């Protein structure tokens, strides 16, 4: 892969070992993180720190999530190969690449035009051209490709978006950090055959807010 040295691969292995010690147990998630060159999703100024378990700014007031958060959300999806996943918040394209490495059919929406253009080109250059990217409002989802087996929101939602629930397949999961009085709680919703939702609450995290509309 372009720009991916043995040094970088070794740094990723150390990161994966660290995430395993922190409690990430899904080996398919860890294997995907070991393959995706995170340093190529960051500004060169952060190159020496790319494999630290930290979030970094990527422009437009957004961040690339820390690897633990990416691994945690990815694990909650319980992905199987060929599942259709809708990602809300493409950002740098890093999370979409992890999902693609796990064999998912990824559809990703970004509301910032500058980030959308950069991520689309980056994904193409790194060989993830099968990831379908869209410039749009994440609250609206992407109904033309629905239903989705999994929906992942990578920003803190003030509420659970109703249109996304409608685009979720029966038996599917919606994973999102939900704003509440106590902070941002990672939530997983499972859609029942009757159209009802079972909610599970997990750890607290820190994300940028999920906002409506598009930014040109």
Instruction: Calculate the alpha carbon distances from 131 to 47, 86, 165 in Å.
Output: 25, 10, 22
Q: What order of strands is seen across the sheet that includes strand 132-135?
A: 132-135, 105-110, 84-88, 148-153, 168-180, 183-191, 197-205
Query: Any idea what the Cα angle at residue 103 is, between residues 192 and 164, rounded to 5°?
Result: 35
Would you name the residues annotated as active-site residues?
A: 65
**What single DSSP character describes residue 53?**
S
Give the C-alpha separation, 58 to 68, whole Å: 18
Residues 198, 151, 159, 134: what is their CA dihedral angle, to the nearest 10 degrees? -160
- The closest alpha carbon to 26, from 85, 99, 86, belongs to 99
């Amino acid at each position: 892969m372009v720009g991916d040295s043995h040094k970088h691969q070794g740094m990723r292995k150390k990161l994966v070992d660290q995430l395993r010690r922190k409690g990430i147990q899904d080996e398919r998630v860890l294997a995907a993180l070991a393959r995706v060159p995170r340093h190529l999703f960051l500004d060169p100024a952060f190159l020496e720190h790319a494999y630290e378990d930290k979030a970094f700014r990527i422009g437009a007031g957004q961040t690339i999530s820390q690897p633990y958060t990416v691994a945690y959300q990815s694990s909650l999806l319980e992905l199987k190969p060929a599942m259709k996943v809708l990602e809300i918040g493409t950002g740098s394209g890093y999370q979409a690449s992890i999902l693609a490495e796990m064999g998912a059919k990824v559809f990703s929406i970004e509301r910032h035009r500058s980030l959308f253009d950069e991520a689309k080109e980056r994904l193409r250059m790194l060989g993830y051209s099968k990831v379908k990217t869209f410039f749009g409002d994440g609250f609206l989802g992407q109904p033309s490709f629905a239903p989705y087996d999994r929906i992942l929101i990578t920003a803190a939602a003030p509420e659970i978006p109703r249109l996304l629930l409608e685009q979720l397949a029966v038996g599917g999961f919606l994973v999102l950090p939900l704003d509440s009085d106590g902070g941002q709680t990672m939530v997983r919703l499972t859609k029942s055959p009757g159209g009802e939702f079972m909610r599970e609450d997990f750890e607290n995290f820190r994300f940028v807010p999920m906002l409506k509309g598009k930014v040109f």
